[in-house]
A and B are shown apart, each in its own frame.
Chain A
Amino acid sequence: RKEVEQDPGPFNVPEGATVAFNCTYSNSASQSFFWYRQDCRKEPKLLMSVYSSGNEDGRFTAQLNRASQYISLLIRDSKLSDSATYLCVVTPDYKLSFGAGTTVTVRA
């Protein structure tokens, strides 16, 4: 079983829609969680950290469910510029484990 698993998508949504997707992790000892964003053929960049109590950053909301070992990302009021691949990142130890990514395409 992979350490981090994501639905690859793609999620095709119209502008203004809400889209949400999850990421599951296998190591219950994982302490830190993050969402990274990767645009086509570019380097990944940190989107947001995921805190135990859940957190928001503008139109983005991240949640952590330790009991079921998954994290989620919700994007409200989608913009064309949100089209990207979203990588789930988990730190079971000092290293970071990346999911394969969920692709989101926002259409006009």
Chain B
Amino acid sequence: DAEITQSPRHKITETGRQVTLACHQTWNHNNMFWYRQDLGHGLRLIHYSYGVHDTNKGEVSDGYSVSRSNTEDLPLTLESAASSQTSVYFCASSGTGLAGKNTGELFFGEGSRLTVL
């Protein structure tokens, strides 16, 4: 069955370190997204991609970067981790429906819980 997986599921790191969260999907979806979820804020979009070599900033992109070298993967990198980046991170993917628009159904990974000390 197609799926979307994230790794690591849990990570503890120190302030200033570089961290990369992996996201791999086998749906063959063009669209991939990274969200962070914090109490009181819901899901906030960090970066997204509509296809290979396409990346776009979301509403909370500062301090994060992504790259899309193939359809399956969208790794999220924290260049220099900060305590404010302690959060649960969700990767998601979606297909492209009529007229090239996002179908609206996102398939989420199980989340990566990151703690920055």
Contact = CB atoms under 8 A, between A and B. Distances in A.
Interface of A: 4, 32, 34, 36, 41-46, 49, 87, 89, 91, 94-101
Nearest to A33: B104
Contact of A101 (B31, B42, B88): B42
B1 interface: no
30 contacts: A4-B42, A32-B104, A34-B104, A36-B106, A42-B111, A43-B110, A44-B43, A44-B90, A44-B106, A44-B108, A45-B108, A46-B106, A49-B104, A87-B42, A87-B43, A89-B104, A94-B50, A94-B101, A94-B102, A95-B45, A95-B48, A95-B58, A95-B102, A96-B33, A96-B102, A96-B104, A97-B45, A98-B43, A98-B44, A100-B41
Interface string B92-117: 00000000011011101111000000
Contacts of B31: 94
B42 A96 contact: no
Interface of B: 31, 33, 35, 40-45, 48, 50, 58, 88, 90, 101-102, 104-106, 108-111
Contacts of A41: 88, 111
Given A43-B108, A96-B102, 15 more contacts: A41-B111, A43-B109, A43-B110, A46-B105, A94-B101, A95-B45, A95-B48, A96-B104, A96-B106, A97-B45, A98-B42, A98-B43, A100-B40, A100-B42, A101-B42
Given A42-B110, A43-B111, A91 B43 contact: no
B1 to A, nearest CB: 15
A4 B44 CA distance: 11
B109 to A, nearest CB: 6
Nearest to A8: B40
A33 to B, nearest CB: 8
B32 to A, nearest CB: 12
A98 B104 CA distance: 12
Contacts of B109: 43
